[in-house]
Structure 1
Amino acid sequence: MSGFRNKTRQAARRVTAGLPALAMTAALAFPLPALAYEVVEESEERVIYSVEGDFDHYFEMVEFAIETEGLVINNVGHIADMLDRTAGQESGEGIYLNGRSVDFCSATYSRATMEADPHNITFCPYVIAIYELSAEPGTIYMSYQRVPQIGDEASQESLGDVNELVDRIVTEALMF
């Protein structure tokens, strides 16, 4: 990450605490248009949202939303690039114009899930995919797999909290 970009994010984090009140004030003073994103699919297994816009913009918004929660990105998977590199070997065509996944974890949420059931380690890290289909340029998708709410009551509750966290990150990223 470039020094300028890193300094910009650090400055943004310092002012994050005041943003909710500022956003409410701005929303009251300057009414905003309705949100442009939509839920494409919401099942027990996964959630998919879509929005019209620029891939790089929404990818950065996901990164920012994760960091705003105080979390650290572990890895960025360049899925579309990998598929493009291997297309000749696999006799495939371009599925995505852009496609990446971001994985991250939360010590707080993960500890709660693993204290409830040590086998919940399999659900960490959490992954959000951001992609643009070749057949639909300009439509950006964000999706994630839901963590199954299994085990005893404490396990189910903590895993449900993880789902809420990931959904909050995605919907916050979609608002900008």
Structure 2
Amino acid sequence: MRSFLSGAVLAVMTTITTAGLASADGTSTIYKYDGSFEDAAFSLESAIIDKGLNIDYVSHVGEMLSRTGQDVGSDVTLFDNAEIYIFCSAVLSRKMMEADPLNIAHCPYGIFVADREGEVMVGYRNYPEGPMQEVQSLLAEIVEEALSF
């Protein structure tokens, strides 16, 4: 779990600093959210649950970065708030791992919500071509639903 969370944080930070705020690049797809961080988080949580999925964990990345910045010698504020919602789909996970057991590396799935300098964004990491595109489609559906609340 620690490795996944570290990778997720790195993917979020790399995408935001190199690709802009609303884009699809090689690592992540990010959408601007027209509303508050709290509304985006609530909409995302609702969209995940509406798909019949359970949220296993919410990683409070923004709090962690704020809390540890001074400890690592940085005074840079990366996010005003940031969370990653971690969940899985038993149906899709089984299907993906039956296609290739090494797809275990992509589970669980995560969608982030972040507020950076007043711009709220929702996004997810991109998965490799092939069977994992079905999971990426699920993530896109969830985010689209969250954006429409």
What is the TM-score of this pair, normalised by structure 1? Answer: 0.69
* Deviation string, structure 1 residues 100-157 (Cα, Å, up to 9, x no partner): 1011100011111011111111111111110001xx21x21111101112xxxxxx2x
C-alpha distance in structure 2 between counterparts of 1:75 and 1:87, whole Å: 23
For these two proteins, the number of residue pairs brought into alignment is: 128
Shift of 1:86: 0.8
Shift of 1:81: 0.4
C-alpha distance in structure 2 between counterparts of 1:172 and 1:51, whole Å: 12
Shift of 1:99: 0.4
Residue segments in structure 1 that go unaligned for 5+ positions in a row: 1-38, 150-155
C-alpha distance in structure 2 between counterparts of 1:84 and 1:42, whole Å: 27
User: What residue identity is the alignment partner of 1:164?
Assistant: S
Deviates more, 1:56-65 or 1:90-99: 90-99
What is the TM-score of this pair, normalised by structure 2? Answer: 0.82
C-alpha distance in structure 2 between counterparts of 1:52 and 1:90, whole Å: 33
Specify the structure having the higher radius of gyration (Cα). Answer: 1
Aligned-residue identity in percent:
35
Contact 2:22–2:30 (CA<8 Å) still a contact in 1?
Answer: yes
Query: What's the counterpart of residue 54 of structure 1?
Result: 36
Contact 2:59–2:85 (CA<8 Å) still a contact in 1?
Answer: yes
Q: Which has the higher contact order (CA 8 A, sep 6+)?
A: 2
Q: Secondary structure at the match of 1:143?
A: strand
- Structural mapping, 1:8-157, within 5 Å: 40-92=22-74, 93-133=76-116, 136-137=117-118, 139-149=119-129, 156=130
Pairwise CA RMSD: 1.2
